[in-house]
Copies of this chain bind each other. A is one copy, B any other.
């Protein structure tokens, strides 16, 4: 099992996913001479792209730091990593749903888009939870320099983010704004969890 090929493959998937999201940014249909209005009305595409770029970017940073913990990998880590990448590639779909429904303003459709996004974010965090648990149960995979208490401290992070996304899914039918805030909150939480992990690894 070579860690280098797992990282090359994962970096490839992250790089492709983060780049093809921009393909949703198409030339809008517009009446000749009125491109400006059409472009301005596309702000939701930019907003959704920014959100997902940030999200995937943070996930990549996480992946980057997390795999620096491994001294070696086994077959199960490879399989868990594939499952995680599967979950992450799905982000493309709710990103499109979000930009489309934000342009249409229908409340019920917006709810579907936000719930889909939060559900996939929940799934992604669940795959991180599985990987954390596996790593906890297999200390022999960890590189010696890593503080043994580190995983005791951070191992509840995926669970915490799952709760945030669950709250977002439950809140959205009552208030789209609250659901959206919780979703963005979950992504911001990832960023803090990343900083936390990154600082602990640097010590």
Contacts and interface: CB of A to CB of B under 8 A. Distances in A.
A121 to B, nearest CB: 16
Interface string A84-125: 011001101100110011001010110011001000000000
B64 A33 contact: no
Counting chain A residues whose Cβ lies within 8 A of the other chain, the interface size class is 35 or more
Contacts of A101: 35
B89 A36 contact: no
A113 B12 CA distance: 29
A203 interface: no
Interface of A: 1-2, 5, 7-9, 11-20, 22-23, 25-27, 30, 32-36, 39, 50, 53, 57, 60-61, 64, 68, 75, 78-79, 82, 85-86, 89-90, 92-93, 96-97, 100-101, 104, 106, 108-109, 112-113, 116, 195, 198, 202
14 contacts: A2-B64, A9-B15, A20-B20, A22-B89, A30-B109, A32-B106, A33-B108, A35-B101, A35-B109, A36-B112, A39-B97, A39-B112, A50-B86, A60-B82
